[in-house]
Structure 1
Amino acid sequence: MAQIYKIYINEVALIITDSQPSDIQDYQELKISEFNFFRFYEQVRELNSPKIFLLLSKNFKSHFKKIKRSMKMIKAAGGLVSNEEKHYLFIFRNGKWDLPKGKLDSGETAKVAAVREVEEECGIRIESLGDKICNTYHIYEMNKERILKKTSWYRMSAVNQKVLIPQLEEGITDVRWLAPGDFMMIRQNTYPSIRDLLNAEF
């Protein structure tokens, strides 16, 4: 499988890699010699339908680092939490289903932040922290400044945590344990990076 970096701009995915991914068929390839990230960003940031752009380069890591250095980065962490019934924890915030996550505090590691944010947002206690799943990247604007948000995702488990308390001050209005058979509801109303994570895990 090709190593890739995937950056989301709303529903648009920019994949930066050194070889064509075998599991992606419907995409538009960009010419590396003509590629300018900020011109590309301005062209696609208003698109609200899913679309994939592919940037192929032997120096794909350096291209990604150049994009990363060109804007402010915010680091966050979260978890895919399972319980003893093999159900998984989801939150509902800002009109979409999501996985619990949040920004790292100063001096905090991603692992520590992931557990803290899950516990705070859902009112539960994490029993164990497992392996890292992946990093996801998306770009948004705040006060006319472009922000690249990197989120580190970890597998977690919680036992005997039936009572869920949504963190209302963070805009979370619902927290639920869901079986994989119920994930269609999530996939139909979530962020593309969460959809990618669920598709990779399930």
Structure 2
Amino acid sequence: MYKVFVNDKPLFLTNEIVKETDFQLFLLDSVDIDKIIIKYFQNKIQKAFLYHPNEKEILKKIKEKIPVQKAGGGLVYNAKGEILFILRNGKWDLPKGGIEKNEEIEQTAIREVEEETGVTGLEITKKLQKTYHVFKRNGKYKLKITHWFEMKTDFDGTAVGQIEEGIEEVAWLNKLQVKAAMENSYENIKLLIEDSAIL
């Protein structure tokens, strides 16, 4: 099962039909994906399932219906064990961004962290899960698939937010501060933090 966030609400891609009552179920093959996404953005849907019997085909099917943007990002630790966060649009987020032509996704993740925060000396320590969310750009909906990497750095300079990306603040947060930041973050970031067993 995949969890895609639309307007910070879950859209599950599944090959199982579960007996619940608080959601809507749609068949992936016949659904008009744009109509569902619009309903999410209008707050008419809080949670839905898109069903397809073959789990291996689910992601391929959704990619046929909605353009995909690939992105890379970092969950970065410094020498003190603090995690690098950015504040953008009034919410705590992790640095990430879109892949460029002829770039490996690991290069994307490192480049985006450096560009968005000014932090250098990054080393990837492991690959984390991917997150999925739908966003709107130039009147079109797109599915952003972000490949996340755990990184470490000995950087001890001043981190500076990329102004043209709307980054208001860059901060190294300890566990307690991360917990507080999660009260004002995105669902896919919360998922990543939970999965990384940080808290």
- Asked whether the equivalents of residues 12 and 47 of structure 1 are also in contact (C-alpha less than 8 Å), the reply is no
| Residue number in structure 2 paired with 1:44 | 40
| Amino acid aligned to 1:39 | K
Q: Which position in structure 2 is the counterpart of 1:9?
A: 6
Residues 34 and 57 of structure 1, relative CA distance in 2, 3 Å threshold: closer
Equivalent of 1:111, from 99, 106, 113? 106
Gaps of 5+ in 1: none
Partner of 1:58: 53
Q: How does 1:79-90 map to 2 (within 5 A)?
A: 79-90=74-85
Write the letter of the residue equivalent to 2:14.
Answer: T
Whether the aligned pair in 2 keeps the contact of 1:78 and 1:117 (CA below 8 Å) is: yes
3-state secondary structure, aligned to 2:164: helix
The CA deviation at 1:143 is 2.1
In the TM superposition, what are the counterparts of 1:89-104 in structure 2 within 5 Å?
A: 89-104=84-99
Across the aligned residues of Structure 1 and Structure 2, the Cα RMSD in angstroms comes to 2.5
Secondary structure of the 2:103 match is coil
Aligned pairs, number: 195
Normalised by the size of structure 1, how large is the TM-score? Answer: 0.85
Whole-Å separation in 2 of the counterparts to 1:119 and 1:14: 31
Q: Distance in 1 between matches of 2:24 and 2:42?
A: 19
Secondary structure, counterpart of 1:6 in structure 2: strand
Q: Separation in 1 of the partners of 2:117 and 2:174? A: 17
Distance 1:33 1:19, change over 3 A: closer
- Structure 2 gap ranges (5+): none
What SS does the aligned partner of 2:47 have?
Answer: strand
**How far off its partner does 1:53 sit?**
2.6
- Aligned-pair distance for 1:48? 8.9
Structure 2: distance between partners of 1:153 and 1:48: 31
TM-score, structure 2 as length reference: 0.86
